[in-house]
A = this chain, B = another copy of it.
Amino acid sequence: VRVAVLGTGLIGGSIGLALRRLPDVEAVVAYDRDPSARAAAVRRGAADAEASSAATAVEGADLVFVATPVRAIPQVIEEASPGLRPGQILTDVGSTKSRLVVEVEKSLVEGVIFIGGHPMAGSEREGIEAAEATLFDGRWWILTPTPRVEPDAYRTLHGLLARLGARVIALDPEAHDDLLAVISHLPHLTATALMNLAAERRHAGLLALAAGGFRDVTRVAASNPDMWVDICVDNAEAIARALDELAGRLRELGEVVRGGRLSELRKRLSAAREARRSLGAKPLAGEPVELSLPVPDRPGVLAEVTTAVGDLGINIEDLQITHAEEGGRGTLRLIVLGVDPARRAKEALARKGFEVMLLRV
């Protein structure tokens, strides 16, 4: 496999470092708008060679990672276009997906396959100097395949990411953005609003008395405002919806408290406690189980199957498609860990009309 990495910051650099440890990766070529950053990538061992443009970097690559900030992605792909050829696989690492996936698919060179991606890994530090080969070890890496994505291309990318140590999960682009709004952006903006509310009070000097609870809830409010402005722009719609929803819940809770509706209050507190506790529980990494299902040979099946499993929070360890010789249909084989996750995946797929056979491997 030959790989191009466009953008050699923390994420791009770490991808390069991790890929170069795999024996079947022939070459990693790096491009960055900043010549010193791409030179540093080679010096740090994150790439075998640097290219002086995005278009030359992608020439002859089987796989292209676009690892720039989310706003720059369409522009970089456009710059790379003269070098792109049918059959090449393109992926990105942007933190929002719905708008981006639509925009990229619309403008892409015919035959080039784009699979949106989002590795949920990061660091306090930034730039190539902070890059590490182990950055993705045990971390989630979300892929957002659309109906246009070919199973074999998906398999190639999925397999490579799994070998970087990532837990790969497939989600629909909209589901990705809503998920991120809820588990990342909303907590951040809530911490911001709570911190400002407290700081603007008459007794602001008394915030020194705040104990662990307040400090935990507001901790994320100390992050970089510029980064968060960008995130809010990129995922504005899902974030605004989530903010409205939480505001509604807080107002309801205020009515419950004011009205002394104690059993309702206890119900909400208990539900949150249960949910928070189960969040802490690590799923047992069970034995590998194969889900085997006959699938029609039509576009969209791969995205449908993988996102149905992803919706359950279950990552697919490996997947394979065999095409029947007479054509028109094939068999999709997915490996997941644990009998219970396998059963839940089977049920979800059955609800979508797929006939699944479970097989311990």
Contacts and interface: CB of A to CB of B under 8 A. Distances in A.
Nearest to A218: B276
A349 interface: no
A266 interface: yes
A236 B218 contact: no
A324 interface: no
A249 B208 contact: no
A192 B279 contact: no
Interface string A188-207: 11111111111101111111
Nearest to A348: B205
A261 to B, nearest CB: 10
Nearest to A309: B205
State how many copies of this chain the complex holds: 2
B247 A248 contact: yes
A192 B269 contact: yes
B269 A228 contact: yes
Nearest to A281: B208
A213 B265 CA distance: 25
Contact of A183 (B214, B223, B243, B276): B214
Given A182-B201, A279-B207, A273 B223 contact: yes
A217 B196 contact: no
A26 to B, nearest CB: 32
Interface string A223-250: 1111011001100110111111111111
A254 B189 CA distance: 9
Given A249-B196, A266-B229, A272 B191 contact: yes
A183 B196 contact: no
B211 A183 contact: yes
Given A205-B313, A229-B265, A236-B260, A272 B179 contact: no
A344 B340 CA distance: 63
A217 B217 contact: yes
Contacts of A195: 272, 275-276
Given A272-B196, A273-B221, A214 B262 contact: no
Given A190-B217, A250-B190, A279-B208, A258 B229 contact: no
14 contacts: A169-B209, A184-B213, A196-B271, A197-B242, A197-B246, A198-B275, A199-B272, A199-B275, A205-B312, A215-B279, A221-B275, A229-B266, A236-B258, A243-B250
Interface of A: 120, 140, 142, 169, 171, 175, 178-179, 182-184, 186-199, 201-226, 228-229, 232-233, 236-237, 239-251, 253-255, 257-258, 260, 262, 265-266, 268-273, 275-277, 279-280, 283, 310-314
